[in-house]
Amino acid sequence: MGKKKNSYSMILVIISILVVFVIIKYIAPYVFMIVLAKDHTMPTPSTLILWYMILAILGALVYVSTSDLKWAKFLSFILPAGDDKTKAILQKMIIVAFPVLVGWFVYSGTAPGTASPVELRIQHPTLLQEFEKLENPFAHVNEETKKRYIEEGKILYQQNCRPCHGSKADGNGPFANAFRLRPINFTDPGTIATVVESFAFWRIRDGGPGLPGASTPWDSAMPSWKDTLNDEQIWKIIMGEYVTAGVVARQREKIEH
Amino acid sequence: MNTIKLFVSSTPKNLHLRIAFTLFLVIFFIALASSTSMAQENAETAEVAETVETEETVETAEPEAPAEPYEVVDYRNFFGLDGRLAIWIIAQLHLMFAAFVLGVPIFAVIVEIIGAKSGDIRFDNLAREFTKLLSAAFATTASLGGLMAFALYGLYPGFMRYMTDVFHPFMFIYAICFFGEAFCLYGYYYSWDLLAKKGKWFHITLGIMLNLFGTALMLLANSWATFMMAPGGINMETGTVQSLYHAFYNFLWMPLNIHRLIANVAFGGFVVGAYAAVKFMGARSHEEKAHYDWMGYIGNFVGLGALIPLPFAGYYLGREIYSASPVMGNIMMGGAFSWTFIIQAILIGMLFIGGNYYLWNGMSRIKGAERYTPYIKYINIIIIFCFAVWLTPHNLPLSGEERALIGEQYHPFSKFFGVMAAKNAVVNLLILSTFFSFLLYRRANKGETMPFSSHGKSAKVALIITAGLTILYLAWYALGLRGIELEENIRQYLSPLITCLVIQIIAIVITILLTFANRGKFAQAFLFGVTTITSVMYMAYYGFVVMEKANLVLRYLSVAQVSIVISCLIVNTIIDIFLFKNAKEVGGIQWGKIPLRAQYALLLLCVAIVTLMGLMGFIRSGLRMNWHIYGFMQDTSAGAFTPSIAYMGWTVSLIVIIFLALLAFVFWLAGLGEKKKQHS
């Protein structure tokens, strides 16, 4: 009878999971730094690492249990090693590493630290009903007037919004670094491009203090501008701001059937 | 003596289980009660405020007041429990049973037709078993429906007064349809033997009528639900009904109809799959095991088949909610409800992984499948990757330190994976991969294929008609895109979409020609390749471009993307059918020889879809926030707050547990008669 070859699929699974971890934790921050031309690395948030690792483990377990044979091979690694010395060493490593890993998880989860709390943020606070049907009063003026208003809006933007949101509307104004939650980068297509203009109007007019209670936790340093600017000026700023950022507001759609 | 021994040996184990389960329930209810205290506190504050007001009026009122007049109230509570919570639980349970009762007849009749056509008695028996479950669940659905109506009229009399004013003619039609449904269902079930030989097609007609009545019931009830979200046909100030037709056929009615119809089939399929899994695990004889293995396979097949178009229908509904009200849309995807969509993403991911896992495990009972098992690892990697992108939120929970290190609002992972452009691309890839798994499963026991030309003219005609219809649809949509009236600077972004559609049309033509030239397998791979490159890779990139420059185009991009993927699925399916027609079999399928793990996957699928339905029911209804009828009638009761995610989680879990328990009980009742028969 020939000698049966030991299966190392459990070790392959562990190595694959470790490779995924190294990519997410150590390689991705540098890749993003280079690809996005940043001057610092972009560390992967701990929540994402946790989610992605759960998925990696799930994927690996799904794969090794897709047939009885694969599953048996996977589990067979815990059987006595016999003459296979490599297997014996690896088995010992697993037996030591597993409780150490669990212990480390428990320790890092319970040891007192000084980290600030993790916050669950909501992208868009709920727009009040009174703003829903609000339309830009300058939406239907002729082209020439529109251009003039946009230029006026750009100037108003630079006068009032630039310090935080930056001259290019990219969220990099001179004050930006002073905020824990940085001012929004309007050139990012996931920000003002996803909302209707009346939403932007509400945010500028009422700012952080005007947020409804249900929208917490939402720490916004945005001031309320209703005492400084009149409604017309705010609408002009909106027109100028979208052009400066190079994005278009969400358009209302015609309801028809 | 043996019985006593058995009792003694099994009691402690059962007892432990019972104690553990009771403890679990106690903890569960305590936790739920503490969450509901939010509602109670609100109610108490409201009551205190009311009392203060009343006290003030009492002070100014005459000392000798006349007998108390009849008071018209708008809100009541359910024996101390908040009315909204009571309605939530009852309505959701009713909907889940209704989904089962409406979804199962659709495929029961199809299975019966297959049986009648092929003369295979197994299909007929399967359809009958489905109907047995159906008739058991029907009465529970009706009872819950009655309870729901009473609860609505009892707890929300003011709101229901208005709804009745608007919709009373349809309520009578609803009742008539209900009679129709009941007669057809019981007629269908009890006449099975009677019409088995001679009146088979009459029996099938009864089944179709059952479906028609059931669908009519759903359409009627849907109209009331969507009227509450996007009211039409009424004066929004006074509430006067201006057009009953528009109140009924309101803006969200059709999208919801489509979404629910498909979801009901998926729901029915997975629930039936779980039933088969339980029966399989308890089966003693080989025949029984083989039968329930096959039934579980059919359940999973139906569930996955309906799950594939479901994201598209869901996207359509979501998009129309945006159109109906940008505010409601923003609350849904970017606001208070955005985190519930992350939970939804996890559940949908579980469904796809579970469905594929079942298929892969099922391949182990097919001889010849080993030729295709190496592909599994690649499909698995793709599915897990898609799942990861699918659930990455745009806004992550970040600590202050992490935010400082990243240096901006969004981490690149969430910035790129967290938006619709990426999610649409991966869901399409997920669907293509699952479909690929299906094809592998289908050909697992097939060996040498016959050349396509040997199938004769009918095969060619069928292929040409299918491909022709698909091409016509793609061309129709491309022409539609050309004709859309948009501002010139936005319109230009439509042309790449039109190009993609034209490329797909050309690809389909080439695929058909290759198939005619007996290169069917290559043709399928070619179409898969082109579809993946255009609809997944290119459109993922283009989605970001459009998001930035002309987000109005995003809706057309999604439809084009879906159309391309669906066209690939349709053409490749029809090619596959003819490609493997009369192919040599490598080895048969050994029904009953499936690992138990696959049966647990079926159970997981059932729990996942029930939870998903509970969650999505909450989202659809909760989007109205504190409105009964959005924008017209406000909910001024104490319970009209939007629940926190934890509160929602507890309630949905409770609903899931109650539903599964009720379902198990009802199925057990349905099986009692059978046991007696076996006994005699």
Quote the pLDDT of residue B13.
Answer: 56
**Interface residue of B411, B426, B433 to substitute, partner A, most A CBs within 10 Å:** B411
The answer as to whether A74 is a domain residue is yes
CA gap A194, B64 in Å, rounded: 62
Residues B609-645: pLDDT tens digits? Answer: 999 999 999 999 999 888 899 989 989 888 888 888 8
Round the average pLDDT of chain B to a whole number and report it.
86
Could you say which of A83, A110, A137 is where a domain stops?
Answer: A110
The answer as to whether A23 is a domain residue is yes
The answer as to whether A164 is a domain residue is yes
B254/A118 Cβ within 8 A: no
The answer as to whether A255 is a domain residue is no
The DSSP bridge partners found for residue B446 are: B585
The answer as to whether A120 is a domain residue is no
Is the domain of A153 the same as that of A228? yes
List of residues 6+ apart from B622 with CB closer than 8 A: B337, B642, B643, B648
How far B579 CA sits from the closest chain A CA (Å)?
A: 27
* Residues of chain B contacting A63 with CB distance shorter than 8 Å: 376-377, 380
How many Cβ atoms sit within 10 Å of the Cβ of residue B638?
A: 21
Dihedral over Cα of B461, B462, B468, B471: its sign:
negative
| Structural domain that includes position A32 | 9-110
- Indicate the pLDDT class of residue B63, thresholds 50, 70 and 90: low
Residues B189-241: pLDDT tens digits? Answer: 999 888 887 888 899 999 999 999 999 999 999 999 999 999 999 998 899 99
Residues B98-150: pLDDT tens digits? Answer: 999 999 999 999 999 999 888 888 899 999 988 988 888 899 999 999 999 99
Is the domain of A207 the same as that of A148? yes
Which of B326, B327, B388 lies closest to A52 in CB terms? B388
* Residues of chain A contacting B394 with CB distance shorter than 8 Å: 123, 190
Is the domain of A102 the same as that of A133? no
- How far CA B133 is from CA of B92, B413, B667, in Å, comes to 20, 46, 6
Does pLDDT of B57 surpass 50?
no
Is the domain of A17 the same as that of A95? yes
Least confident residue range of A126-130, A251-255, B354-358, B560-564: A251-255
Count: domains in chain A: 2
The domain that holds A207 is classified in CATH as: 1.10.760.10
Is the domain of A102 the same as that of A142? no
Could you say which of A110, A144, A159 is where a domain stops?
Answer: A110
Tokens representing residue B17 in the block: 């289980």
Residues B525-566: pLDDT tens digits? Answer: 999 999 999 999 999 999 988 887 777 788 889 889 999 999
Quote the pLDDT of residue B14.
Answer: 66
B403/A181 Cβ within 8 A: yes
* Residues of chain B contacting A28 with CB distance shorter than 8 Å: 413
CA gap B371, B374 in Å, rounded: 7
Quote the pLDDT of residue B5.
Answer: 47
Is the domain of A13 the same as that of A81? yes
Instruction: Using a CB–CB cutoff of 8 Å, tell me whether A84 touches chain B.
Output: no
* Residues of chain A contacting B403 with CB distance shorter than 8 Å: 180-182
- Indicate the pLDDT class of residue B34, thresholds 50, 70 and 90: low
**Closest residue on chain B to A69 (Cα):** B364
Burial of B149 (0-12, 13-18, 19+ CB in 10 A): middle
- CB contacts < 8 Å between A and B, how many? 198
Burial of A165 (0-12, 13-18, 19+ CB in 10 A): buried
Is the domain of A228 the same as that of A188? yes
How far B678 CA sits from the closest chain A CA (Å)?
A: 34
Is the domain of A185 the same as that of A236? yes
Is the domain of A137 the same as that of A193? yes
Reference B145, options B111, B167, B177, B186; nearest CA is B177
How far B396 CA sits from the closest chain A CA (Å)?
A: 7
List of residues 6+ apart from B561 with CB closer than 8 A: B424, B425, B428, B535, B539
The answer as to whether A174 is a domain residue is yes
Is the domain of A105 the same as that of A137? no
CA gap B83, B56 in Å, rounded: 28
Quote the pLDDT of residue A257.
Answer: 44
* Residues of chain B contacting A180 with CB distance shorter than 8 Å: 400, 403-404
Reference A58, options B391, B364, B660; nearest CA is B391
The answer as to whether A119 is a domain residue is no
Reference B502, options B524, B532, B463, B474; nearest CA is B474
Is the domain of A104 the same as that of A23? yes
Burial of A210 (0-12, 13-18, 19+ CB in 10 A): middle
* Residues of chain A contacting B353 with CB distance shorter than 8 Å: 58, 62
Which of B357, B414, B552 lies closest to A251 in CB terms? B552
The answer as to whether A253 is a domain residue is no
Could you say which of A60, A79, A110 is where a domain stops?
Answer: A110
Is the domain of A94 the same as that of A146? no
Highest mean pLDDT among A68-77, B260-269, B453-462: B260-269
B415/A188 Cβ within 8 A: yes
How far B414 CA sits from the closest chain A CA (Å)?
A: 9
